[in-house]
Chain A
Amino acid sequence: MSLPALPIVERDSTRYEAAAQLFERALQAGCLDANVLYMLAMARKRQGKLSEARNVLRKIPQPDANVLLQMGLLSLQENQLAQAEDEFARAWQMDPQSYEICYNLLLTRLTRGKIEDCLALLPAALELAPRHPAQTQEDERRSLLVLQALLQAYHKNDNRAPLLAELTAADEQCLLRTLRSLGQLDTALSLLKTLTKARPRSTAVREAYHEAALVKAKELIDRCAWMDAERLLRSLEREKNGNRATQLVLLNLLGCCACMTQDFDSAIKYFLAAIKLAPKDPRLHQNLALAYELKGELAQADPHWNRFFDLLDDRVPVPPDIPHYLDHLVYESLGRLAARYSEKEKWASALNYVQRAAQLRPNDPDTLERLFQLYNQAKRPQDARRTLEKLRQLRPSEPQYEMYELDLIEVKGLDDIEKLLTGIDRILKRYPNDGRVEERAINMVGNVLPLMGTLCDQLTDQMSKIIDQLRNLPNYQVNWSAVREVMRDLLREFQKLRRITGKCLPLVNSDEQRRIIRDLADHIDKKIEACRSMGA
């Protein structure tokens, strides 16, 4: 089935261009000779100008079988199978003695999955094949016979085809080559399935079937038809295949499908099995780590992420247009993992990944900023301060870093809040039109509002306890000087809190925050009044 075909496009097309120009001039001068049109079309075909060649062939008033054959070949080249079939069929009607036309029509129909039409054409092809002057005529005829046997077995759904059972290795290879060359996975897969039933002991056939099924599964996955792909792959899983490479691909694809159908336990099982076959494949470790992540088991994912980073090397294919791709990939992966751990408030793990990212890019301000934040979260003020120093060296005029300095204040009481707000106010006045500073200031103020509320509640509780005691004690037992002393202290604290709310109000921008502050201020005013009435 492997007769030499004439090349459609030739490398040196300059002489064809010269010829084409001459023919075109002849046509422009009024020449109506069909031969000139044909020769022009052939010149264009050899130049690879398929649509031009087709246009010229269409101008031939009475196309014969050969012209239609040429049109069919052009259609094939353009992957227009239906059109090619139509043109070959018309050519075949005109010249039923042409093996080339018959063969092309047969294979086009086979590619289109028209098994019955192929079976109808095969006797004629077999009759013509021996007359073909190629040296491989015996092989050609034999190949057609084998193909006929396979198509008959498929058509009748009968696996007892004696010819198929007796195939030589060469016959088998030739048939597999033909099926692989169809470029039509559904047809190839169906025929290979029939062949596996007819030749159950053939390893080559079984492997070919597995390969075709894997490629078909990939096609389904490319269309996001995960469940269909999974169904096909599971049928392969049941039929054990000895080939390590295809087994590896099968397990990986099953793992991917299981992930996409949210069966994470199965996905992990498949990826683990795949890693057993290829323990040094970084992409498989990445898949397993992602499956663990999707399942919510970040700690289990960790060792596989580390393995992924260790194994990334020149073997890993990268996009052609992005330089230093793998370095970027490692950096972004570390950053991503840090973010994942931060979301879960696992600061130590997050810090570990950002530290590694900072080792890769020691002078990257964004990374150092994240490192600073995480040191701060992990209550490591010394490391945070050191990182901030480095940031200041890298960006000396960055106003945000002054705000970072305020992040280092450990806010526990009213004095800390006051210190923080004074600092914010100072920085805002220094950088009056800096949007980022303003935004950060608003966030910081928003963060201390709950603490202010808590402190206010604590003072109110103290005051309530004293008032309760006063209500329950007879007047002569009350130590009024001590009460006044305590009330004076409470008054001072409430006044301080009131002053702080006054400072907060211009620093917030949302109505909700303003309402909270006003309510707090009203509450404090009432308490101040109460303190005074109690003799403070």
Chain B
Amino acid sequence: MSQSAEPIVLELAPLPREQVGPFLLLGLDKTADKETIDAHWAERLKWARKGQSKVPLEDINWAREVLSDIERRIRADAASLNIDTTDGVLAQLAQRYGVQEGKPTRTWQALDNEKTLADYRLPAEVPDAASVRAALIVPKLPEDVPAVPLLLERLAQQPLDPWAIDLKG
């Protein structure tokens, strides 16, 4: 005999999918549009594949199939329970708690602090001037132009008349 005070709850075989209805199987309101139906279907497929849902894969596909056909959808509405009231009180409550389209989403406002760009300086790595200078390598003059040093030497040896320089030109 079990020592637990909790009563043993026996789980009956689930109702047939026609009696549960496609809306409950996909967790949809009866007003859901096509986009929402597809989104809920895709989400439940994931759950079923990961073993996070008791609903069989074929029932999930069946539910989407029914809801994709307008006539079958309306017939399913007639035969399915309503989770919410006509006034949509539950939907309003869900919205108050950030649940949108069946998914809870945080609604608190985060604090932003975009810096004023004029004063803002992102940290950037400034290289050391000496190491930059050391890293510079002056190329050697090529040997195939031997006349250049001679011409430069002659130019340097010419007398310079400062008054002959035409500044305007």
Within 8 A of B (CB), among A284-322: 284, 286-287, 290, 294, 315-322
Select A329's contact among B11, B25, B74, beta carbons within 8 Å: B74
Q: A38-B120, A325-B74 are in contact. Are A184 and B86 (CB under 8 A)?
A: no
CA distance A302 to B112 in the complex (A): 59
- Flag whether B138 is at the interface (Cβ < 8 A): no
Instruction: Flag if A221 contacts B124 (CB, 8 Å).
Output: no
By a CB distance below 8 angstroms, the chain A residues around B12 are 261-262
Instruction: Flag if B86 contacts A315 (CB, 8 Å).
Output: yes
Select B33's contact among A185, A278, A319, beta carbons within 8 Å: A319
Closest residue to B21 on the A side, CB-wise?
A: A290
Closest residue to A102 on the B side, CB-wise?
A: B111
By a CB distance below 8 angstroms, the chain A residues around B115 are 66
CA distance A256 to B80 in the complex (A): 10
Instruction: Flag if A329 contacts B9 (CB, 8 Å).
Output: no
CA distance A319 to B36 in the complex (A): 11
Closest residue to A340 on the B side, CB-wise?
A: B79
- Flag whether A252 is at the interface (Cβ < 8 A): yes
Q: A5-B110, A211-B93, A256-B83 are in contact. Are A223 and B33 (CB under 8 A)?
A: no
Q: A62-B125, A278-B85 are in contact. Are A98 and B113 (CB under 8 A)?
A: yes
Number of residues from B at the complex interface, CB < 8 A: 66
The stretch among A103-111, A385-393, A501-509 that forms the contact with chain B is A103-111
A260 to chain B, nearest CB (A): 6
Within 8 A of A (CB), among B20-77: 20, 24-25, 27, 29-34, 47, 52-55, 70-71, 73-75, 77
CA distance A358 to B9 in the complex (A): 47
CA distance A181 to B109 in the complex (A): 9
Q: A222-B102, A245-B89, A320-B31 are in contact. Are A260 and B112 (CB under 8 A)?
A: no
The 8 A CB mask of B93-108 against A (1 = contact, 0 = none) is: 1101111001011111
The 8 A CB mask of B134-164 against A (1 = contact, 0 = none) is: 0000000000000000000000000000000
Instruction: Flag if A260 contacts B74 (CB, 8 Å).
Output: no
Instruction: Flag if A227 contacts B98 (CB, 8 Å).
Output: no
A22 to chain B, nearest CB (A): 14
Select B123's contact among A8, A62, A261, A320, beta carbons within 8 Å: A62
- Flag whether A425 is at the interface (Cβ < 8 A): no
By a CB distance below 8 angstroms, the chain B residues around A34 are 122-124
A173 to chain B, nearest CB (A): 13
Instruction: Flag if A185 contacts B97 (CB, 8 Å).
Output: yes
- Flag whether A2 is at the interface (Cβ < 8 A): yes
B87 to chain A, nearest CB (A): 7
CA distance A329 to B115 in the complex (A): 57
- Flag whether A141 is at the interface (Cβ < 8 A): no
Within 8 A of B (CB), among A53-67: 60-62, 64, 66-67
CA distance A79 to B103 in the complex (A): 11
Closest residue to B82 on the A side, CB-wise?
A: A283
Q: A221-B83, A278-B85 are in contact. Are A42 and B114 (CB under 8 A)?
A: yes
- Flag whether A73 is at the interface (Cβ < 8 A): yes
- Flag whether B5 is at the interface (Cβ < 8 A): no
CA distance A60 to B52 in the complex (A): 40
The 8 A CB mask of A326-345 against B (1 = contact, 0 = none) is: 00110011011000000000
Select B74's contact among A66, A224, A332, beta carbons within 8 Å: A332
CA distance A8 to B112 in the complex (A): 9
The 8 A CB mask of A81-106 against B (1 = contact, 0 = none) is: 10000000000000000111101100
Closest residue to B12 on the A side, CB-wise?
A: A262
Instruction: Flag if A104 contacts B111 (CB, 8 Å).
Output: yes
Within 8 A of B (CB), among A170-225: 178, 180-185, 188, 211-212, 214-215, 218-219, 221-225
Instruction: Flag if A222 contacts B27 (CB, 8 Å).
Output: yes
- Flag whether B78 is at the interface (Cβ < 8 A): yes
CA distance A286 to B16 in the complex (A): 19
Select A66's contact among B82, B87, B113, beta carbons within 8 Å: B113
A101 to chain B, nearest CB (A): 8
Instruction: Flag if A180 contacts B97 (CB, 8 Å).
Output: yes
By a CB distance below 8 angstroms, the chain B residues around A99 are 111
- Flag whether A69 is at the interface (Cβ < 8 A): yes
17 more A-B contacts (CB under 8 A) besides A253-B90, A319-B33?
A: A34-B123, A35-B117, A62-B124, A64-B122, A180-B96, A182-B98, A183-B99, A221-B83, A252-B84, A252-B85, A253-B83, A255-B81, A260-B20, A282-B86, A316-B86, A322-B74, A335-B75
Between A and B, 24 residue pairs with Cβ closer than 8 Å are: A34-B122, A35-B117, A61-B125, A76-B110, A79-B106, A107-B110, A180-B97, A181-B98, A183-B104, A184-B104, A185-B99, A212-B97, A215-B93, A215-B94, A215-B97, A219-B99, A252-B85, A253-B83, A315-B86, A316-B86, A317-B30, A321-B34, A329-B74, A332-B74
- Which residue numbers of B lie inside 8 Å of A, CB to CB? 9, 11-12, 14-15, 19-20, 24-25, 27, 29-34, 47, 52-55, 70-71, 73-75, 77-90, 93-94, 96-99, 102, 104-115, 117, 120-125
Nearest 9 A/B pairs, CB to CB: A222-B27, A183-B98, A183-B106, A6-B112, A181-B108, A333-B78, A100-B111, A34-B122, A283-B82
